Amino acid sequence: MVNKMKPATAHYLILGSFCLAFYSGCTSYKFLESEHHPRTWKKLFLVHHWPVTVCKMSENDCKDPPQYWTIHGLWPDKVDECNRTWHFNVTEIKDLLPDMRHYWPDILHSSPNRTQFWKHEWEKHGTCAATVEPLNSQKKYFGRTLDLYQKLDLNSCLLKVGIKPSSTYYQMTAIKEALTSVYGVTPKVQCLPPEEGEEVQTIGQIEFCFTKDLELRNCTHSEAESYVMPNNWHFGPEELSVCNDTLTYYPAQVQFYN
């Protein structure tokens, strides 16, 4: 580990002052849809992942990961693989491909024509999300996910509150408080646990929750929603889990240890 532990105080101060200043700039989301179809799930997770951490978790060779948060998926809670006969068809999303490649890349398999990651996301999650009208085709599912991602604009908002990749560690509570103050909802943040002999976790995923009507909601669940999302896309031997309120590394580049 080359980085020395540094005080996180500076980031606290920066966060505090920037949050108020930029509050209004990052809140232009509101998705009004009202459809009334039978549904078996209650909320959607729009999952962003940090490509550098994804690379770090993988045994695969992963070169030059993007330096921005990319889409992992849009996942309904409670259900998966809802329609095994509704096959992924890349032709249906051909108009979206430039945006897909940029914002929803397969971090671990960089060939631009690989569609395996999108196929997996569609079959596992898209076929379930498709029970609501705004997401009921491949074009709508992928297109709406891209829209939500662009409306949330997580990359700009993180920069505006002073959270950027750094060799300095952050307090997880500061990151969570900043996100909550910017978006007005509690996201779910996932980390890679510390390496052997280390104490610092690494941020890996930021998930925002949406209602069935595609409105932003808190990720905190009510008593009735006690379901643990299985980790569905195995990158390697290591797994993400909900971050602890400890020092957190937000790495700028992949560093391989050992």
Least Å distance between CB 139 and ligand NAG?
A: 9
In this structure, are residues 142 and 96 in contact, taking their beta carbons and an 8 Å threshold? yes
Q: ∠ CA(154), CA(158), CA(160), 5° rounding?
A: 115
Least Å distance between CB 216 and ligand NAG?
A: 6
| Strand residue runs (E) in the chain | 43-49, 70-76, 166-171, 188-192, 201-211, 216-217, 241-242, 247-250
238 is catalytic: no
Least Å distance between CB 177 and ligand NAG?
A: 12
Which tokens hold the place of 202?
A: 């690494």
87 is catalytic: no
Q: SS3 breakdown of the chain: % helix, strand, coil, rounded to 5?
A: 35, 15, 45
Q: Which is nearer to ligand NAG, 71 or 243 (CB)?
A: 243
Beta-carbon contacts of 26 under 8 Å, excluding residues fewer than 6 positions away, are: 153, 156, 157, 160, 182, 183
Q: Which is nearer to ligand NAG, 108 or 216 (CB)?
A: 216
From 49, 72, 123, 207, the catalytic residue: 72
Q: Which is nearer to ligand NAG, 13 or 81 (CB)?
A: 81
Beta-carbon contacts of 91 under 8 Å, excluding residues fewer than 6 positions away, are: none
CA dist., res. 32 & res. 68, Å (int): 28
Phi-psi domain of 247 (left: phi exceeds 0; alpha: psi -120 through 50; beta: other): beta
Q: Which is nearer to ligand NAG, 83 or 156 (CB)?
A: 83
From 11, 48, 125, 207, the catalytic residue: 125
Q: At residue 51, what is the residue type?
A: P
Q: Which is nearer to ligand NAG, 173 or 218 (CB)?
A: 218
Q: Which is nearer to ligand NAG, 66 or 193 (CB)?
A: 193
CA dist., res. 41 & res. 79, Å (int): 7
Least Å distance between CB 236 and ligand NAG?
A: 15
DSSP class of residue 146 equals H
Least Å distance between CB 92 and ligand NAG?
A: 5
Least Å distance between CB 8 and ligand NAG?
A: 16
In this structure, are residues 79 and 40 in contact, taking their beta carbons and an 8 Å threshold? yes
234 is catalytic: no
Contact footprint for ligand NAG (CB under 6 A): 83, 85-86, 89, 91-92, 113, 185-186, 191, 193-194, 201, 217-218, 241, 243-244
From 121, 199, 221, 238, the catalytic residue: 121
Q: Which residue numbers are catalytic? A: 72, 121, 125
